[in-house]
A = this chain, B = another copy of it.
Amino acid sequence: MPVLRHRLFGLRELVDDLAFRAPARLAVTVFACVIVLFAALLLTPFATADGRGASLVDALFTAVSAVCVTGLVVQDTATYWSAWGQVVILAGIKVGGFGIMTVASLLGMIVSRKIGLTQKLLTASETKTSRLGDVGSLVRVIIITATTLELSIALLLFPRFVVIENNVGTAAWHALFYGISAFNNAGFVPTVEGLTPHVGDWTLVLPLVLGVFVGALGFPVILNIQRAWPRPGQRWRGWTKKLSLHSKLTIVTSVVLLVVGALLLLVLEWSNPRTFGPLGLGDKVLASLFAGVMPRSGGFSTVDIGAMHESSWLIQDALMFVGGGSASTAGGIKVTTLAVMLLAIVAEARGDRDIEAFGRRIPRDVLRLSIAVVFTGASIVLVSCVALLQVTHLGLSQVLFEVLSAFATVGLTTGITQDLPDAGKYILALLMFVGRTGAVTVVAVLALRDRRRIVRFPEERPIIG
C-alpha cells in the first residue's frame, strides 16, 4: 500500500502542478484528444448498422456530442449506429461526463485561485467550499458517486423497461443507457421513437427528471449534500445549515427555474393540439415538468419540440442559456452566475453595501467574474447565430434554439440538426466544444497576466443607463 500511495501522490502532484500552471490549456487539450479518439472509433465501418462506416463530419459531430454530453444527433442513435457504435457513444458519455465533473471541479478551484484578485482569492480558497484539493481522492469519490447514482436511476427504470421491451437483456441495456445518459445530462436515447410514446408514464418520466436534476446540480453540491446528510442516529434538524453558500444558491435557483419554466411552458402549450393539447391534466403537468427541467441541460423530450409555439422556444432559450450548476455535466452560464447577478441587482435596488445571500456576504470580485462569463457566453451565441444564419436558410427562432442547445450542451432541437449543411454541423460541433470547455476556461485563457498596480488612478464616475 505505501507504494501505491506514493504513486498516487506522484500522479496527484503532477496533475495538480499541470492544472495549476495552465488549467485551461490542460482541460482543452484533454477534451480535444478524447474527442479525436472517439471520432476515430466511430469511423470504423462496423460502428454503423449497415457496416459501411460513417462520414467524417457525422463521426466527429457524434463524438463531440457524446463526449461533451450534448445529445444533438445528425444520425439516429438507435438505427444508424450498430450495437458497437452505441457502446462507443455510451462510453463517450461516461468518459466525457466524468472528465467534465473532474476537470470542472479542479478548474473551479484553480481558476478561482488564479483569476482576478489573486491574493484575496488565495485566502478564500482556504475555506470549505474550495477545499477539493486532494486530486486522487476527488477522482475516486467522483467515480464512485457518479456510478452509484447512474445505477440507481437505471434500477428505477429497469422494471418499466422489462414490461415495455418484454426482454430482460434489452430492458437492462436501455435502463443502463438512459441512467447514464440522464445523470450525465447527455440527452442521447437508445430507442427509435425516443420518449415521445411515454409522455404520461411517470415510472419513466420521474426517474429521468430526478437523474437529470441531480446530475445538473454539479459535483461540488452533490458532495456537499452527501457530507451534510445526517448519519444514522444524528438529528435531522438544521442539517441544511451545514450546506455551503454555493450549494444553497445552486439548489434554490435550480428549483425556482424548474418551477417557473414548467409553469410557463404549461400555460403556453396548454391548448397546442400538437403538444400538450391532447393530454389529460395529469399528463400535462408531467409533460411540463419534464419540459421544464430538460433545457438545463438534460436534452430528452417527451413532446415534439418542433411543434411547440415560438414563444415556448424562447422560454427554453432563456433556460438553456442559464444551464445548470457549476462543475456539473450541464452547460450554460450556470445557475450561480444568474443568482449572483440577481442578488447584485437586489442589493443595488435596496441600497445595500454588500451582495448578500443566506446570511453570507458574496465577495465583490465574484460579480466581475459573473459578468465576464455572461458576456462571453452571449457573444459566442451571437456570433454563432450570425454564422449559422449565413450558411443556412433557416429562421432566427430555430437557429437560436439550436445554437443555445449546442452552446449549453442541452441536445434539444426543433428538428433541424440532421438537415444542416456540413458547415453548419462543424459550427455546432465547435460550439459544443467551446460551450463544454466553458466560459470560465475562456476567461482563464485570458488570465495569463496577473498585474498589480501600486499606484491607483483617481476615481471618476460615468453615467449609466
Contact = CB atoms under 8 A, between A and B. Distances in A.
Nearest to A452: B353
B361 A460 contact: yes
Contact of A462 (B246, B353, B450): B246
Contacts of A459: 124, 360-363
Interface in A438-465: 438-440, 443, 446-447, 449-453, 456-465
A372 interface: yes
B375 A345 contact: yes
Contact of A457 (B115, B360, B370, B387): B360
Which of A345, A362, A452 has most chain B Cβ within 10 Å?
A: A345
Contact of A351 (B352, B451, B460): B451
A354 B453 contact: yes
Contacts of A220: 463
Given A116-B351, A309-B389, A461-B127, A345 B372 contact: yes
A435 to B, nearest CB: 11
Interface stretch (A139-147, A203-211, A329-337): A329-337
B369 A464 contact: yes
A339 interface: yes
A304 interface: no
Contacts of A348: 115-116, 365, 368-369, 371-372, 443, 447
A337 B465 CA distance: 6
A344 interface: yes
Given A310-B395, A315-B386, A451-B351, A340 B461 contact: no
A237 interface: no
Interface in A96-144: 108, 111-112, 115-118, 121, 124, 127, 129-130
8 contacts: A244-B460, A314-B386, A315-B386, A337-B465, A355-B368, A366-B462, A367-B371, A395-B395
